[in-house]
């Protein structure tokens, strides 16, 4: 099968990484695969062996139309049997491009919230141009159906996949990384995610300020990049909470398995989510996890972690403290229970099987 993936950029986000992993799996299975990327190349991008084309689309009317023309030219040359688009800008662009070609189209939403009501209206008005829509969690699917942004009869759920071979714990690597990072006997809480409103870092910092008062040896590591001004505001806020020297801002890391090894627990404080890859990766690494009940988090964690209400700093702090008060053996048991759940229900290989079956069904117009 000839498959074209459409995405906004190859920037270092979870959706982008998921698309690349899926595209590489499909290529390894013998499909002809290409990536159609709307934006120009970014300073930081996920590497990939998949052929890619940037159409350099811009927000101005002229720039948008020029990008559509280049996208149409690429699709005519590549001649895909199926187009798979991801996240709002690429989903809408792919639907417009389908006006010029017969390829089947699958749209995927990656979050319970992809923008204000006007975007939901646009989804609704263009729904007929998509053969099928998938969501990365049941929570996301239910919300889009409820808002009538997606037709229930052609909507399904395929959750994100985790690279369980890459994200596997190593005691030797843990010892080496803790020494390198100067962790000593400190209890390290780690979070991983772009500096963005969805991740609700102020909520996390308020919770950790409570934790830090009870455990002087506790530290919070934050992996992820974002706008410089937003990061500066968070650093100032952390200092105001008395956390100077207690929070380590790691920025974008390419060695997340090693960083996860070094950590003692993983915390996610999101206000809204789709199906957070970083949380699934932490579970695959056998970390005890504490996460807010946002989007598909509950579907991912099940009973292999602790879930608290979103935007509740006190509740988040209590859950973090409860985990820290467990005996090391009990924390280890909690972490080890998470990896089999990821392996059995959320591995990338299993998700590739699901996608391949859906591609075949859509291409053959059986859905």
Q: Is residue 4 scored above 80 in pLDDT?
A: yes
CATH number of the domain residue 48 falls in: 3.40.50.2000
Q: Is residue 99 scored above 80 in pLDDT?
A: yes
Q: What is the pLDDT of residues 111-159, one digit of tens each?
A: 999 999 999 999 999 999 999 999 999 999 999 999 999 999 999 999 9
What's the pTM?
0.94
Q: What is the pLDDT of residues 157-180, one digit of tens each?
A: 999 999 999 999 999 999 999 999
Tell me how many degrees the CA angle 111-112-113 measures, rounded to the nearest 5.
85
CB 40 within 8 A of CB 10: no
Does some domain include residue 196? yes
pLDDT in the model for residue 365: 82
pLDDT in the model for residue 298: 97
pLDDT in the model for residue 12: 86
Regarding whether 269 and 197 lie in a shared domain, the answer is yes
pLDDT in the model for residue 208: 98
Q: What is the pLDDT of residues 189-239, one digit of tens each?
A: 999 999 999 999 999 999 999 999 999 999 999 999 999 999 999 999 999
pLDDT in the model for residue 82: 97
d(CA 53, CA 57): 12
CB 307 within 8 A of CB 324: no
Regarding whether 354 and 263 lie in a shared domain, the answer is no
Does some domain include residue 252? yes
d(CA 220, CA 136): 28
pLDDT in the model for residue 367: 55
Does some domain include residue 241? yes
pLDDT in the model for residue 304: 96
Q: Is residue 324 scored above 80 in pLDDT?
A: yes
CB 176 within 8 A of CB 261: no
d(CA 322, CA 290): 10
Average pLDDT along the chain: 96
Does some domain include residue 166? no
Does some domain include residue 214? yes
Regarding whether 197 and 118 lie in a shared domain, the answer is no
Does some domain include residue 59? yes
pLDDT in the model for residue 109: 98
Regarding whether 104 and 39 lie in a shared domain, the answer is yes
Q: For a pLDDT cut of 90, what percent of the chain falls above it?
A: 96
Regarding whether 178 and 140 lie in a shared domain, the answer is no
Regarding whether 67 and 8 lie in a shared domain, the answer is yes
Summary count for the chain: helices (H), strands (E): 14, 13
Nearest to 168, CA basis, from 253, 252, 250, 260 = 260
pLDDT in the model for residue 101: 82
pLDDT average, residue stretch 349-367: 91
- Residue 128: domain span: 2-161+347-363
Regarding whether 210 and 309 lie in a shared domain, the answer is yes
Nearest to 246, CA basis, from 290, 215, 203 = 215
**Predicted confidence band of residue 366 (pLDDT cuts 50, 70, 90):** low
Number of domain units in the chain: 2
């Amino acid at each position: 099968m000839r498959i074209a993936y459409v995405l906004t950029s190859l920037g270092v986000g979870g959706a982008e990484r998921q698309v690349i992993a899926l595209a590489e799996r499909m290529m390894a299975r013998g499909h002809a695969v290409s990536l159609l990327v709307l934006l120009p190349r970014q300073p930081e991008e996920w590497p990939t062996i998949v052929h890619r084309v940037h159409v350099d689309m811009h927000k101005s009317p002229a720039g948008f139309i020029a990008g559509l023309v280049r996208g149409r030219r690429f699709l005519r040359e590549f001649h895909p049997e199926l187009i798979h688009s991801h996240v709002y800008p690429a989903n809408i662009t792919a639907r417009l491009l389908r006006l010029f070609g017969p390829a089947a189209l699958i749209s995927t939403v990656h979050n319970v919230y992809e923008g204000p009501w006007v975007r939901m209206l646009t989804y609704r008005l263009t729904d007929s141009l998509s053969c099928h829509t998938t969501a990365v969690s049941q929570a996301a699917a239910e919300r889009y159906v409820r808002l009538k942004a997606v037709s229930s009869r052609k909507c399904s759920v395929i959750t994100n996949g985790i690279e369980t071979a890459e994200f596997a714990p190593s005691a030797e690597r843990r010892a080496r990384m803790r020494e390198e990072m100067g962790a000593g006997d400190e209890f390290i809480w780690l979070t991983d995610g772009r500096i963005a409103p969805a991740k609700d870092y102020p909520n996390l910092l308020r919770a950790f300020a409570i934790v830090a008062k009870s455990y002087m040896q506790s530290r919070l590591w934050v992996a992820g990049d974002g706008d410089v001004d937003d990061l500066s505001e968070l650093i100032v806020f952390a200092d105001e909470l008395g956390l100077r020297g207690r929070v380590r801002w790691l920025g974008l890391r390419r060695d997340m398995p090693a960083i996860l090894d070094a950590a003692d627990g993983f915390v996610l404080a999101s206000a809204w989510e789709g199906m957070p890859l970083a949380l699934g990766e932490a579970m695959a690494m056998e970390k005890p996890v504490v996460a807010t009940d946002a989007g598909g988090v509950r579907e991912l964690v099940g009973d292999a972690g602790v879930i608290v209400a979103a935007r509740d700093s006190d509740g988040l702090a209590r859950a973090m403290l409860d985990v820290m008060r467990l005996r090391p053996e009990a924390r280890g048991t909690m972490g080890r229970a998470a990896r089999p759940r990821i392996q059995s229900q959320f591995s990338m290989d299993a998700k590739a099987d699901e996608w391949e079956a859906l591609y075949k069904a859509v291409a053959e117009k059986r859905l």
